Amino acid sequence: MEKTWRWFGKKDKITLSMLRQIGVEGIVTALHDVPLGEVWTREQIRDLREYIESYGLRWSVVESLPVTETIKYGGPDREQQLEVYRQSLRNLAAEGVNTVCYNFMPVLDWARTDLLHPNEDGTSNLYFSYAEFAYFDINILKRKGAREEWAAFRFPEGVGEGRDILAEADELAKEMTPERDHQLVENIVIKTQGFVSGNFHEDDEAPLELFHQLLAKYEGIDKAQLQQNMKYFLEAVMPVCDECDINLCVHPDDPPIPILGLPRIVRTAEDIRWFLNAVPNPHNGLTFCAGSLSAGAYNDVVAMAREFAPRTHFVHLRSCHIFPNGDFTEASHLGGRADLVELCKIFERQRHPHGPLPFRVDHGKTMLGDETRGYNAGYSFLGRMFAMAQMQGVLATLAHESH
Ligand code: DNO
């Protein structure tokens, strides 16, 4: 596999020369300054590609070319936005960038409630607490129907037995303070969304209002409808992917559970089978995010890797630990539910038409001073470097064993 790293552009505090020093071969990035819904021009793409190449690296993967909400809910300007998407794909291919990651999660990209959850060893990790998320939904967002939905919430078999999330959220409400509310909004809406080119930005004055406006667009859109909209999107862009040999790869829903009353359609093996079969074109593929998938107790991540490796165009190596109560945290890259050693074996064996399959370590621990550097949530330097070194060791061992 090709060792890649998510880099957030020229403003990233982690520079390309630092990445050269730690064995990175390819860069995963996006044109983060282009507003959502605008074409990525060939000149802009070339400028960034040449910059990356001037450091002896290559632009391996786009993460993400965002699919705007109107395409997801099927709004009136969907056709115009599809044309924008196709044009950006053509421009990327013309500059030699052929692997493009996107997601089809409505409104929120990924979600966590705590970005610096302390571990016993002094490091910290990202964390998802159901009770805090429910509290956010009911008491801060005040979403219509939230109480009823959380009252009916059931964990998958084997975890969270006997837990009553609504009661826990109500308990939490007694002790929350305006400061902690603010922190939760920062964690769920601002700090995790802004830098991934999502719908929310650091300087949004009324993020919750915007949240409600976006949620309203999905009224009446159920899982089947969102799946049809994804199929519509894929069918609209596949001719360009065929013409330009672009591998498009959807990122799974993170976490892989329906949230905020919104449908989620890329969270289980069945979901993945569905979209791969609905548009059976090899250019329609998956970003195998082991971290997102392993946060679902019902997902057998190794079995999924075996099944979906032939349609996987990009891999995120990360692993989650699910606590008996159902909450999850991000585990060490050598621990957790995802079995990254086995996954490396599976993906190393997979031949890929564009050369070695790109992988990146996904979120790492925050450690050894990372917390004071202002890195994007989950995207520490030392923590990710540590994980990258672990994965390099695994890959080297596998290569050695296969000789
Ligand atoms: C979070 C990321 C996601 C991912 C997008 C892909 O850390 O894994 O934001 O990049 O969902 O479109």
DSSP symbols for 350-379: ---TTSSPEEEE-S--B-TTGGGTTPPTT-
pLDDT the model gives residue 103: 98
Domain that holds residue 149: 114-216
pLDDT mean over 326-351: 95
The number of the ligand 1 atom at minimal distance from the alpha carbon of 196 is 9
The verdict on 192 and 226 lying in the same domain is no
Question: What is the per-residue pLDDT for 97?
Answer: 98
Same domain, residue pair 141 and 186: yes
Which numbered atom of ligand 1 lies nearest the CA of 287?
Answer: 6
Q: What's the rounded mean pLDDT across residues 117-142?
A: 97
Residue 196: partners with Cβ closer than 8 Å, 6 or more residues away: 64, 109, 110
Answer yes or no: do 273 and 367 share one domain: yes
Can you tell me the distance from the alpha carbon of 114 to that of 111, in angstroms, rounded to the nearest whole number? 9
Q: Bridge-partner residues for 102, per DSSP?
A: 250
Residues 261 and 188 in one domain: no
| Lowest pLDDT segment from 92-96, 154-158, 247-251, 350-354 | 350-354
Report whether pLDDT(313) > 90. Answer: yes
How far away, in angstroms, is 253 Cα from ligand 1 center? 9
> Considering 109, 241, 363, 375, which one is annotated as catalytic?
363
Site residues for ligand 1, CB cut-off 6 Å: 63-64, 101-103, 109-110, 196, 251, 378
Q: What is the pLDDT of residue 38?
A: 97
Q: Which atom of ligand 1 is nearest to the CA of 379?
A: 7
Give catalytic status of residue 249 as yes or no: no
Q: Which of 316, 327, 333, 375 is catalytic?
A: 316
Rounded Cα distance between 385 and 364, Å, is 8
C-alpha 84 to ligand 1 mean position (Å): 21
Residue 403 has pLDDT above 90, yes or no: no
- CA atoms within 13 A of residue 35's CA, in its CB half-sphere: 1
Based on the structure, what is the number of domains in the chain?
Answer: 2
Q: 276: buried, middle or exposed (CB in 10 Å: 19+, 13-18, 0-12)?
A: buried
Helix (H, G, I), strand (E, B) or coil at 210: helix
10 Å Cβ neighbour count for 353? Answer: 10
Known catalytic residue: 47? no
- Whether 5 shows a pLDDT value over 90: the answer reads yes
Query: What is the per-residue pLDDT for 336?
Result: 97
> Comparing 205 with 24, which gets the higher pLDDT?
24
Say whether 289 is catalytic: yes
Angle between helices 301-308 and 269-278 (to 10 degrees): 10
State the chain's mean pLDDT as an integer: 96
Q: What is the pLDDT of residues 366-383, one digit of tens each?
A: 999 999 999 999 999 999
DSSP H or E run through 327: none
- 354 has pLDDT over 80: no
Single residue among 216, 249, 264 that ends a domain in this structure:
216
316 in catalytic set: yes
Clarify whether residues 130 and 98 are in a common domain: no
Q: Which atom of ligand 1 is nearest to the CA of 378?
A: 7
Binning pLDDT at 50, 70 and 90, where does residue 334 land? very high
Ligand 1 midpoint to CA 64 (Å): 7
Do 319 and 179 sit in the same domain of this protein?
A: no
Confidence of residue 202 (pLDDT cuts 50, 70, 90): confident
* Residue whose CA is at the smallest distance from ligand 1 atom 9: 196
313 and 368: one domain?
A: yes
Could you give the 3-state DSSP secondary structure of residue 389? helix
Residues 164 and 89 in one domain: no
More confident residue, 158 or 355: 158
Contact 333, 133 (CB under 8 A): no
Which ligand 1 atom sits closest to the C-alpha of 64? 12
Instruction: Tabulate helix, strand, coil % of the chain (nearest 5).
Output: 45, 15, 40
Tokens of 127: 């964390």
Q: Which of 63, 69, 191 to mutate to test the pocket of ligand 1 (most atoms within 8 A of CB)?
A: 63
Ligand 1 binding pocket mutation candidate from 5, 72, 109, 380 (most atoms within 8 A of CB): 109
Strand segments, DSSP code E, in 231-387 are 247-251, 284-289, 312-317, 320-322, 328-330, 358-361
pLDDT in tens, 69-105: 999 999 999 999 999 999 999 999 999 999 999 999 9
Domain closes at, from 216, 246, 265: 216
CB 27 within 8 A of CB 16: yes
Characterize the bridge pairing of strands 26-29 and 58-63: parallel
Whether residue 35 is found in the same domain as residue 172: no
Residue 227 shares a structural domain with residue 317: yes
Rounded to whole angstroms, the Cα distance separating 307 from 270 reads 11
Give pLDDT, residue 383: 98
What pLDDT is attached to residue 201? 85
Residue 251 is a catalytic residue: yes
- Which of the listed residues 6, 112, 125, 254 should we mutate to test ligand 1's pocket, taking the one with most ligand atoms within 8 A of CB? 254
